[in-house]
A = this chain, B = another copy of it.
Amino acid sequence: MSQPLSNDLLQDLKELLYGGDLLPGDALMSQRKMAEHYQVSRSTVREAVVQLESEGFIDVQHGGKTRCSNLLEPYFDLPPEGLGDNLEFQLQVMEVRAMLEGEAAYYAALRASDEQLQALDREYQLMRQRGQGDTTLSKAKDDLRFHMMIAESSHHLLIISFSQIFYSRFFNAIYGVLSRTLKKYGRYPDGIRSQHSVIHQTIMHRDADAARNAAIEHILYTRRHLEGD
């Protein structure tokens, strides 16, 4: 029954990580604070930390802070650069975005904290006010930040990890989609703003299924504008 203490602690820490309360890249408490917080000795903390590290959940650095690691990072060593302007690849990127952001929105609607909902709301209001007069690049970044915030609100370690990797590695392709679309129509398609609004509202109302559909529809809408060159 009574597991070793370090094992209890290990489970506690894992749940902290799985729960998505710590995003990949975020710093954990120092070992000394953990010891105090969990009322165990630092030796015990270390044994749990060493295990977490060996299982790949955290990156620990002598002298520096210990951070939650991205579970998928080690597997994406070679970023496929140069694919950013390939139409076929851009279509695939959008298809994966639809899948990923649909799930992110779904779980965000279910599990976002109230603070995260407020932060998301602020970000959405900011995004509305901008929009004109900005560069294509800044628009792309705004768009990704909005979607990344949704992913981070999902409290889903795997989806967060995948989103981080995906948005950073394939930013070129995502940006390529936007500039290709702008070149074709001269401006943002009309649906984008209202679609962002629907995503925003459904998450705020915690309507998970509607949020997923809205996010998917949003991406596929953009994707449709790419086809038929």
Residues of A within 8 A of B (CB): 4, 6, 11, 14-15, 18-19, 43, 46-47, 50-51, 54-56, 62, 71-72, 75, 82-83, 86, 88-89, 92-93, 95-96, 99-100, 102-103, 107, 156-159, 162, 165, 169
Which residue of chain B is the closest to A81 with respect to CB atoms? B55
**Cβ–Cβ < 8 Å partners of A95 in chain B:** 103, 107, 156, 158
Are A18 and B89 touching (Cβ within 8 A)?
yes
Which residue of chain B is the closest to A60 with respect to CB atoms? B4
Q: Known: A62-B4, A95-B156. Is A86-B55 also a contact (CB below 8 A)?
A: no
**Cβ–Cβ < 8 Å partners of A14 in chain B:** 86, 88-89
Which residue of chain B is the closest to A86 with respect to CB atoms? B14
A72 to B168, CA, bound (A): 11
Q: Known: A71-B169, A99-B103, A158-B96. Is A88-B47 also a contact (CB below 8 A)?
A: no
Given contacts A50-B51, A92-B158, A96-B162, 7 further A-B contacts (CB under 8 A): A18-B92, A51-B54, A75-B165, A92-B156, A95-B107, A96-B103, A99-B99
